[in-house]
Structure 1
Amino acid sequence: MVQGAGGMQMQPAGWLKGVERLCRKHDIFLIADEVAVGFGRTGTMFACEQEKVRPDFLCLAKGLTGGYLPVAATLTTERVYRGFLGDTSEFRTFFHGHSYGGNALGCAVALENLKLFRRERILSKLPAKIRQFTRELAPIKKLPHVGEVRQKGLMAGIELVASKRPWKPYPLSKKMGILTSADLRERGILVRPLGSTMILMPPLSITPEELAFLCRETLQAIRRRTEL
């Protein structure tokens, strides 16, 4: 649904469900990479829920611990699990493992983070924040050097362009994303650029005031940098 490292590219509604149908038709395992979009980032606990997709593998990280410690997990189905069961003589054991797999401290942090989701009712608070995020991004879309704003839940990509009509991207040598991010850093905001695309991924715990500040300062930084 979201191609994050590709510049926050959004797939159209129904695309993921269509991929699932093709996988089922041809008996191909479907792997959902929810490292970036899982744990509420797109508005639901997992992004694939929005199209009622049930992947064979679900890859998780980042939001599992709220970013405090590096922990990742891969979930799979009973069918895949049973594929590695058998007599010792069959040598079907899944021998792959990581030196730091099952780290006790990381797992403890992940469990506490999941408790916070329930106790603070994080998911139920997201719709209002997502609606505000959409409203706050609207003025940014109107800037003359913003070609496109792509948003899904609490994640957005703001693509900076030299010209909208005709469409003309900034050459990478101009470092527009890097320089705009540097301006924001001076205002206490950390934003990751992907080329000339600014990536906004505010924490799920962000307050309405902080969200307004983030978008307002982003607008001003883009305006200052592109109007030089």
Structure 2
Amino acid sequence: MAALRLDGHDLGRLLACSGLKRSTYYYALSHPATPTRPELRSAVAEIFSRTPNGCGHRQVAMCLRAELGARIADKTVLKMMREMGIRCGIRRETDYHRYNSYKGVVGETFENVIGRDFSADAPWQKMGTDVTEFKQPWGKAYFAPVYDFGSKEIVAWSTSTSPDMAQQVELLDLLMAKMPEGATPVLHSDMGWQYQHEAWTRRLKKAEITQSMSRKGNCLDNGATEQVFGHIKDTDNGNRAIDEGYRRKCA
């Protein structure tokens, strides 16, 4: 618009054509855009160039704080990177690529006995299970634990390169070997195909374990177990433990 004004065009007509308010136009003139944190731009470019595909704004921000002692928020770094025209080339994971065990109703389903009440007075009363995917340098690992809501312990777990029924059978073998005599816990899961499978439901009934299932598409119904996955994935030690556990299993 400033260039058109230099050509002699009337400001009122330009504002009318553009739909821009006069106050907005003069505010923009008096407050010209300035680069965000220009003193850190060279450092941002250097950190970004350390990897072939670049790195995301969170990693850049972490390096700025750790290496330079900069006081800067993640979103500020994101704004800087957008202004500089740099963007991480690593493709974001989409829902289509994430592991999902739900295949519809393919077996027997159960009501939500737990009802999001994850409190327990003692061990072996309420438990949860699920399967999650870990990406490792050599491929993908699938981790299936049984988490005790009372003791806050993972009482049984299995790792595998395939989230198949063999993994669930191994998990149940380990669980049954540890379950105290006389215990009749509730075992909660989502509606994954594994937990609807006859081999799973029959085994739980025989052991007098009450089966409970989340509602379809509602991860909060199994929030206690999902929280465990979150804590494991947030730490490098957790990822290493999955890797080492699978390597020991294969040895």
Q: TM class by shorter-chain length?
A: under 0.3
* TM-score calculated relative to the size of structure 1: 0.22
Which of the pair has more CA radius of gyration? 2
TM-score (normalised: structure 2): 0.21
